[in-house]
Structure 1
C-alpha cells in the first residue's frame, strides 16, 4: 500500500492558541469520504501527535473527530505559556508545521 501526504487530503491544516497553556490543531478534510477513512482507521492518534511534537503522550490533551466539519482537532499542552519569556508565537498560528509530515496509507 502506498502513502499520501496529509496535504493532499485536506483543505486546511492550522494551529492556534487555545488559551495561555494549550495549542490546538485543526485538520479539515476535502471530503466526508476521506474524513471517514482517516477516522475509521485511526491514523491520527494521541501517540502520533506526541511523536510529531516531541512530547510525552500525556501532554496530548485530546484528538477529536468532528464530523459536521469533516475535521480532526488535536490539543496539546503548550511547551511555554503564551507570552512567557522565550515563547515566540503568542497566537499559536505557526505551530502546525509538524502535521505536514503525516503520511496516510492510501490505495485510491
Structure 2
C-alpha cells in the first residue's frame, strides 16, 4: 500500500474554526509537538498566500499568529459573507477549518 503524504490534521491534536464575530473567522491549529509546530509555522509552507488561495480571500487581509510556547498557529481573515446573511452557509464558522486540516504537508526539506 503506497504511503500517503500527511496533512496538517495528522500533525495536530485539533484543527478548529470558530466564529470571531459577524465579519471574521478564526482557525486554530493545536499541534501535537514541537516538530509538528515547526512544520505548520514554517512561512515557506503556510503563509498568507496559502490561506488566501484556500479560502479565496485577499492575502493582505489574512492574519497569522504563531505561538511556539503553545505549539499553536492561529489564523484569522474576514468572512467572505457576513454572518447571518442570506448566503451564509456556515453561520458559526464551524466548517471553515476543513480545507486547512486537509492541507498536505510538504516532503522534508521543501515548501509547497
Q: Same fold (TM over 0.5)?
A: yes
Aligned CA RMSD, in angstroms, stands at: 1.9
SS in 2 for 1:79: coil
For the 8 Å contact 2:8–2:40, the answer to whether it is kept is: no
Which one has more relative contact order, counting CA pairs under 8 Å at least 6 apart? Answer: 1
Residues 1:94 and 2:95 are matched in the alignment:
yes
Q: If the length of structure 2 is used for normalisation, what is the TM-score?
A: 0.81
SS in 1 for 2:100: helix
- Aligned partner of 2:13 among 8, 11, 20: 11
Q: 1:106, 1:31 → 2: CA distance?
A: 18
Q: Which runs of 4+ in 1 moved over 2 A?
A: 36-42
How big is the shift at 1:41? 5.2
For the 8 Å contact 1:31–1:70, the answer to whether it is kept is: yes
Instruction: Provide structure 1 residue ranges, at least 5 long, that are not aligned to the other structure.
Output: none
The structure with the greater share of residues assigned to strand is: 1
Q: If the length of structure 1 is used for normalisation, what is the TM-score?
A: 0.84
Q: 1:56, 1:38 → 2: CA distance?
A: 21
Residues 1:46 and 2:33 are matched in the alignment:
no
More moved, 21-30 vs 66-75: 66-75
